[in-house]
Structure 1
Amino acid sequence: MADVTQAHVLEALRQVIEPKQNKDIVSLNLVKSVDIQGSTVNLTILLNRTVASFKNQIQAAAEKVVLAVPGVEKVNVKIDRPISGDPRLMSRADLGVRNAIAIASGKGGVGKSTMSTNIAISLALDGANVGLLDVDVYGPNVPIMMGVNEQPKGRNNKIMPLESYGVKLMSMGFLVD
């Protein structure tokens, strides 16, 4: 069995073309990581939202070309999104998340819940892991907008979020009658 090297894998990945820029994913620095464990290769490829519709095509092409490398028997391709938050803000908020978007206003009725819901669903459809926290005490509309009627369940003395449209939800509307 031939030894699989990162150089062999990257050379194979030069055959995978990013359709919008018509260049290979290695030249575009879209290969975030290559982890080789014996005959198994684990890849992480970065794709922004402009090429999200080509995700399956790029993933399949990467798997195919890497499987053709001598010594490779299994390939795991993970697609990630290059989203960067403002490091000055993210370092101050220990949220345990990579990025946070806060939507607030000093006035009611301006569409905060509508915007929050639409942004959350859009990000989830793009493949991001999304949570939505609705802390509006006077008019928690997110449960209605997301079509959720049930109450969250508790586990290990914690309230577990509900999920709708691929978005994890917690709302004051779940906690008040």
Structure 2
Amino acid sequence: MQKRVIVLCYRKVIDNRSVKQWDKLVFDSTYLEFKMQAQNFSQGTAYTSYAELMRNVANARRLTGMVTPSATGYIQQLGSIMPDILNNVGRRFLTFSRFQFEIINSDINDKDKHQVAVNFYSAPLIWHDTIDSYLLISDHLPENQPSAEGDAISTNLMQLQPYVNISSLQYLD
């Protein structure tokens, strides 16, 4: 039987309606940094929104990269464990190996319009089965491979939820 190795992506959207403390810290930090960095592109123009800057100002696409460091410290605090994603017994278990920060919307003059996303990409996982709306998965690590004797491996049962996507799939023999 072919082994299916997947990478999951969880897209965490953060805006002024976010209620968790970590989310609020990321929101405030990234808005302040956006406001400071966007001034470099908006000086002498009437453009104040992220969308206007992207459409009308050369090199404004660099803003995301300039704002990313303001979120990086908070992301490191997670200890490589994805926020909000729980297994069937209510434990955070899914590790991420990389992330991508994204500005969805913002405005220099209106904090309420600020909206960002952090896309968390899991380490490779073995996808064993789908049971109703649950994925049965395990870490794709050498110590988590069944031996010739048929040793059991540790698994997690995870319910599919909004903003979780299988971002890559690989079949191995």
- TM-score using structure 2 length: 0.27
Superposition TM-score, scaled by structure 1 size: 0.27
Larger relative contact order (Cα-Cα within 8 Å, sequence gap ≥ 6): 2
| Higher share of residues assigned strand | 2
Bigger CA radius of gyration: 1
